[in-house]
Amino acid sequence: MEALVSGAKKGVMLSLPGIKLRSQELTPVDEGLLKASHYSDIQEVSKKKVVGVVGATQDYAIYVHEDLQARHTTGQAKFLTTALKEREQKTIQIIKASIKKEMKNKT
């Protein structure tokens, strides 16, 4: 069980930068503060799950993310959601490979 959780955590940690980068690429830019405020981190690790987060710290991030009516010269609404969906299969591959490697190393 320890190798499984360890591998999952490593896989999530390896996946987060790609999701963050893609989200930043999709983020609408006015002054660049929202784009620069992106972060990624492991939020929770237990025997049942590993939770990674990607977000933005600017107070107005939720409004920019959710406003589907806004027209941006660069970027788009739902920049976080879109990045996660676009990177979903790659994230799964990375996590699977990390678990497999960890399990192999523990035997």
d(CA 2, CA 99): 10
Task: Give Cα 56 to chain centroid, integer Å.
Answer: 11
Q: What is the pLDDT of residue 17?
A: 98
Q: What does the angle CA 24 – CA 29 – CA 34 come to, to the nearest 5 degrees? A: 60
Nearest to 8 by CA among 71, 68, 94, 73: 94
Other residues' Cβ atoms within 10 Å of the Cβ of residue 32:
10
Q: For the chain, what percent of residues have pLDDT higher than 70? A: 99
What integer is the mean pLDDT of 3-14? 95
Does pLDDT of 80 surpass 80?
yes
What integer is the mean pLDDT of 70-89? 96
Q: What is the pLDDT of residue 52?
A: 97
What integer is the mean pLDDT of 35-47? 96
d(CA 94, CA 60): 32
Q: Is the dihedral of CA 75, 50, 44, 103 positive or negative?
A: negative
**Token pair 């405020």 in the structure block, residue:** 37
Q: For the chain, what percent of residues have pLDDT higher than 90? A: 90
Q: What is the pLDDT of residue 105?
A: 86
